[in-house]
């Protein structure tokens, strides 16, 4: 029997989300009644059971969805191969609650159960990892860091929405994107592929895996040339991965080396209200001088010891290096930034099972040395002078012990309690004179350089979750969790307008989530209701000071449904209905913004994929991607109306070795903006590309 309290929660959450719009009120009501229906049919059996999908992100070790007291959406290898994304936002459109807002080329901004966050350190709200190893150290995020990993040839991508700090620490505040490399012991193959598209787009891929006894070897990579849709734009990109795996009875070792290189000619925003609809302006590039050059390398080796039948120890030392230079075309004075970091660390995890108890104990250690330089070549104004604006180094140390215990209260119910403590220390060294970057007689200088200093942050992240199995095919969970992120180095030391010390606190995000997943009548469903309150929101006020007294609220529902249709058809639907709002009066704008929607936070987004697979393995897919309207400024006076896109994909197996693919993006040739913005008194847009056709051929030797 379904508890009455559960039904009331569903009704109240649905009522909250539907009070503004009659159409979406009816749509969400249908979703809620469907959820109640499947909960009442928990005794049914079905062949469409995805509960056995194995994930790692939710527990930092293999576990299927049936045992997970949190949300995780998996984009599997088959989906990644079908999408064959040019940009990562195409693949993650399949994830509810997530939006990767595409900039020009390979640039992007991220939203996971949040608005698209902007600002010096806002990217620190999301943890981006490869095989569970963060791409960057806490405190040194990059808004575009997803181009530093080979997602195009990944085994799968897992996305955890909402706080993951109890297991992953700082940067897992709003969510986690975890890209997994293939295991070479799973498959022996030699394959390559070629792909061609508009604007001189060319991509080549190769993969070779070999299993020799207990050892597996894998090398794979891709090289891309894109001439660019906009004038004087385009990019060259190369990615390579080397993997070695050793498997014995009680020992597994997986070692991975990853390297990426990006050389991009960047196109900037076009300006003017609805400029993205003007045919004569779509290829316009107001910043032909803009560029981005970035390199990243990582190495890790994970050793997993099976100590006993119930005890496991995993140790993963790692190294990482990044180097980047780019022109800041998005600000009027167009300064040049160079930054980089190199570091090492360790991620250790010990798992123990005893009767009704299962405990994991871990320790994460991270040491990083970084630098940042900003210079300006051309005169702009006395307050933004020619020369060096910033030149500093930061050494960072992070140490974080954590523990999570799972207690089986009965055969159907379990309780999980987790706690993490994390200490972050920054040692900042200014290589220029402290104080204003301008001449002594200039008032209102844009750039301020703090004197040498150290900063430390101590944070706790608790998590409490309960999981209940209504039957073999239906589970529900309730979790309370705290996420946090320490201030990023740029928020502490890249100051402006005379601010010489940034005494800001770590952001904290408290979350409650109620989720249901299961299978009935060949339908798999995964639905989550969430409410989150963020304190110490870090922002730059009207005086251009970095402060942290903001409060925001995030409420919504996310769902994923998959239905196995007759005649080898299948239907997948994901959607999000949410509101992200300012909750206090902060000095972010001259006018009152309390209660307003946060800018670049659509209230609804989602996607539908209708797929077909023949007996010979031919595949076809039709996709609808929906982006809801959103405000462009905190005053909610500027707005983007949203858009709907149709994409089509086909894979044809010519024989056992040769495959032909065709993809059509924006099938209806819709005028739309990948990203809309309002800044410096004007509307700004990254223009979405028109109808685009990509053809490819793949060959597999074995």
Distance CA 556, CA 575 (A): 11
- Global pTM value: 0.93
Distance CA 432, CA 394 (A): 14
7 domain residue, yes or no: no
pLDDT at residue 29 in the model: 54
**pLDDT above 70 as % of the chain:** 93
517 domain residue, yes or no: yes
Distance CA 393, CA 440 (A): 25
Per residue, the 3-state secondary structure of 269-285, as one string, reads CEECCCHHHCHHHCCCC
CA atoms within a 13 Å half-sphere pointing along the CA-CB vector of 692: 18
Segment 358-412, tens digit of pLDDT: 999 999 999 999 999 999 999 999 999 999 999 999 999 999 999 999 999 999 9
Which H or E element spans position 6? helix 4-18
Q: Does residue 436 have a pLDDT over 60?
A: yes
At residue 351, φ and ψ (nearest 5 deg) are -115, 135
551 contacts: CB under 8 Å, gap ≥ 6: 533, 534, 535, 537, 582, 583, 584, 586
Which H or E element spans position 166? helix 165-168
pLDDT at residue 28 in the model: 55
pLDDT at residue 49 in the model: 67
4 domain residue, yes or no: no
Burial of 14 (0-12, 13-18, 19+ CB in 10 A): buried
Q: In what order do the strands lie in the sheet with 495-496?
A: 435-436, 447-449, 495-496
pLDDT at residue 520 in the model: 85
Distance CA 54, CA 132 (A): 15
182 domain residue, yes or no: yes
Segment 486-509, tens digit of pLDDT: 999 999 999 998 999 998 999 999
Which H or E element spans position 480? strand 474-485
Segment 45-69, tens digit of pLDDT: 444 467 888 899 999 999 999 999 9
175 within 8 A of 160, measured Cβ to Cβ? yes
Which H or E element spans position 30? helix 22-40
pLDDT at residue 680 in the model: 84
Domain span holding position 606: 41-700
15 domain residue, yes or no: no
List Cα–Cα distances, 1 to 143, 275, 516, in angstroms. 46, 55, 15
- The pLDDT mean for the chain works out to 91
453 domain residue, yes or no: yes
Tokens 């793949």, located at residue: 698
Q: How many CB atoms lie within 10 A of CB 455?
A: 21
Q: Please state whether 363 falls in left (phi above 0), alpha (psi between -120 and 50) or beta.
A: beta
Distance CA 243, CA 173 (A): 30
Segment 603-619, tens digit of pLDDT: 999 999 999 999 998 99
631 domain residue, yes or no: yes
- For the record, the structure tokens of 103 come out as 């900039």
416 within 8 A of 69, measured Cβ to Cβ? yes
Segment 288-333, tens digit of pLDDT: 999 999 999 999 999 999 999 999 999 999 999 999 999 999 888 9
Number of domains in the chain: 1
53 within 8 A of 74, measured Cβ to Cβ? yes
First-last CA distance in the chain: 52
Distance CA 500, CA 435 (A): 7
pLDDT at residue 48 in the model: 47
Taking each helix axis from N to C terminus, what angle separates 22-40 and 4-18, rounded to the nearest 10 degrees?
160
Nearest 5 degrees, angle CA 608-CA 605-CA 635?
A: 165
Eight-class DSSP state of 566: S
30 within 8 A of 577, measured Cβ to Cβ? no
Distance CA 261, CA 402 (A): 35
**CATH code of 213's domain:** 2.40.170.20
**pLDDT above 90 as % of the chain:** 83
pLDDT at residue 121 in the model: 82
Q: Does residue 15 have a pLDDT over 70?
A: no
Q: Does residue 536 have a pLDDT over 80?
A: yes
User: Would you list the DSSP string of 239-280?
Assistant: EEEEEEEEE-SSEEEEEEEEEEEEEEE----EESTTGGG-GG
pLDDT band at 648 (very low <50, low <70, confident <90, very high): very high
113 within 8 A of 532, measured Cβ to Cβ? yes
20 domain residue, yes or no: no
Looking only at the bridges linking them, the beta strands covering 175-180 and 126-130 are parallel
pLDDT at residue 11 in the model: 40
Coil vs helix vs strand at 490: helix
Distance CA 327, CA 420 (A): 39
């Amino acid at each position: 029997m379904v508890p009455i309290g559960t039904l009331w929660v569903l009704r109240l959450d649905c009522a909250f989300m539907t009070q503004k719009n009659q159409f979406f009120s009816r749509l969400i009501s249908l979703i809620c009644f469907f959820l109640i229906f499947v909960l009442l049919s928990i005794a049914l059996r079905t062949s469409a059971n995805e509960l056995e999908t194995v994930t790692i992100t939710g527990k930092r070790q293999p576990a299927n969805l049936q045992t997970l007291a949190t949300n995780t959406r998996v984009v599997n290898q088959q989906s990644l191969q079908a999408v064959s994304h040019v940009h990562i936002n195409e693949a993650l459109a399949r994830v509810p609650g997530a939006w990767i807002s595409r900039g020009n080329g390979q640039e992007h901004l991220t939203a996971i159960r949040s608005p698209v966050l902007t600002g010096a350190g806002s990217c620190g709200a999301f943890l981006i990892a490869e095989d569970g190893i963060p791409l960057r150290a806490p405190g040194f995020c990059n808004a575009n860091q997803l181009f530093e990993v080979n997602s195009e040839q990944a085994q799968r991508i897992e996305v955890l929405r909402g706080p993951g700090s109890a297991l992953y620490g700082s940067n897992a505040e709003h969510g986690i994107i975890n890209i997994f490399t293939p295991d070479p012991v799973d498959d022996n193959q030699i394959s390559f592929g070629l792909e061609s598209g508009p604007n001189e787009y060319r991509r080549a891929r190769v993969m070779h895996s070999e299993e020799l006894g207990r050892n597996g070897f894998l090398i794979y990579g891709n090289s891309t040339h894109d001439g660019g849709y906009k004038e004087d734009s385009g990019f060259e990109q190369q990615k390579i991965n080397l993997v070695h795996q050793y498997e014995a009875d009680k020992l597994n070792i997986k070692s991975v080396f990853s390297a990426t290189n990006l050389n991009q000619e960047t196109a900037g925003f076009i300006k003017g209200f609805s400029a993205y609809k003007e045919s004569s302006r779509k290829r316009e590039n107001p910043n032909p001088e803009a560029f981005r050059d970035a390199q990243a390398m990582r190495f890790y080796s994970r050793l997993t010891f099976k100590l006993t039948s119930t005890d496991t120890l995993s140790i993963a030392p790692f190294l990482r290096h990044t180097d980047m230079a780019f022109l800041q075309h998005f600000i009027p004075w167009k300064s040049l930034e160079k930054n980089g970091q190199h570091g090492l660390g360790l991620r250790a995890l010990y798992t123990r099972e005893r009767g009704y108890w299962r405990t994991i104990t871990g320790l994460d250690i991270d040491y990083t040395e970084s630098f940042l330089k900003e210079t300006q070549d051309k005169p702009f104004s006395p307050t933004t002078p020619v020369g060096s604006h910033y030149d500093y180094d930061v050494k960072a140390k992070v140490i974080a012990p954590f523990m999570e215990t799972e207690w089986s209260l009965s055969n159907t119910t379990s309780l999980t309690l987790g706690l993490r403590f994390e200490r972050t220390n920054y040692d900042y060294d200014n290589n220029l004179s402290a104080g204003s970057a301008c001449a002594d007689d200039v008032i209102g200088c844009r750039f301020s350089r703090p004197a040498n200093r150290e900063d430390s942050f101590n944070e706790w992240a608790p998590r409490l979750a309960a999981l209940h199995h209504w039957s073999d095919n239906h589970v529900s969970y309730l979790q309370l969790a705290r996420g946090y992120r320490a201030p990023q180095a740029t928020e502490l030391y890249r100051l402006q307008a005379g601010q010489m010390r940034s005494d800001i606190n770590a952001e904290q995000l408290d979350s409650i989530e109620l989720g249901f997943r299961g299978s009935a009548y060949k339908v798999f469903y995964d639905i989550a209701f969430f409410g989150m309150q963020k304190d110490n929101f870090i922002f730059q006020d009207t005086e251009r000071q970095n402060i942290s007294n903001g409060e925001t609220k995030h409420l919504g529902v996310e769902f994923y449904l998959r239905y196995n249709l007759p005649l080898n058809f299948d239907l997948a639907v994901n959607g999000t209905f949410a509101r992200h709002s300012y909750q206090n009066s902060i000095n972010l704008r001259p006018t009152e913004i309390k209660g307003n929607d946060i800018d670049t936070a659509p209230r609804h987004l989602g996607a539908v994929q209708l797929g077909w697979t023949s007996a010979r393995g031919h595949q076809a897919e039709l996709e609808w991607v929906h982006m809801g309207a959103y405000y462009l400024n905190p005053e909610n006076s500027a707005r983007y109306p949203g858009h709907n896109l149709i994409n089509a994909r086909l894979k044809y197996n010519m024989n056992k070795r040769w495959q032909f693919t065709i993809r059509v993006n924006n099938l209806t040739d819709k005028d739309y903006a990948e990203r809309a913005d309002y800044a410096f008194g004007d509307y700004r847009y990254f223009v979405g590309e028109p109808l685009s056709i990509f053809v490819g051929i793949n060959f597999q030797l074995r």
